[in-house]
Amino acid sequence: MLIELLPPVAIRVIYAVLIAINVAAFAMYGIDKKRAIADEWRIPEATLLTIAACCGAVGALFGMYTFRHKTRKPKFAYGVPAMLAVQLALFYWLFL
């Protein structure tokens, strides 16, 4: 397992980066929802999906349901939970 090979500082850095990515994903969904309501320039869907794919699926999913944003679009409604499942399996395989 990877956790046994890395020093504790590296593991803390990995966790900090994962938390930062998920907070950013959550914030991006909130910002996009606010801009949608105000009829302003929007964050592209590809960007929202990309941050979810880059280990930000937890934040993206929480953002989707907290702000009720993009929940009816199939690529978000099915894609983000699928990304989360893959990321959880990868995390489990690498760290537990």
DSSP string, 27-89: HHHHHHHHHHHTT-----HHHHHHHIIIIIHHHHHHHHHHTT-S-SSHHHHTHHHHHHHHHHH
Q: Quick check: 94 pLDDT over 90?
A: no
Q: How many domains does the chain have?
A: 1
Q: What range defines the domain where residue 17 resides?
A: 2-95
Region 15-35: mean pLDDT is 98
Q: Residue 1's pLDDT is what?
A: 72
Its pTM stands at 0.93
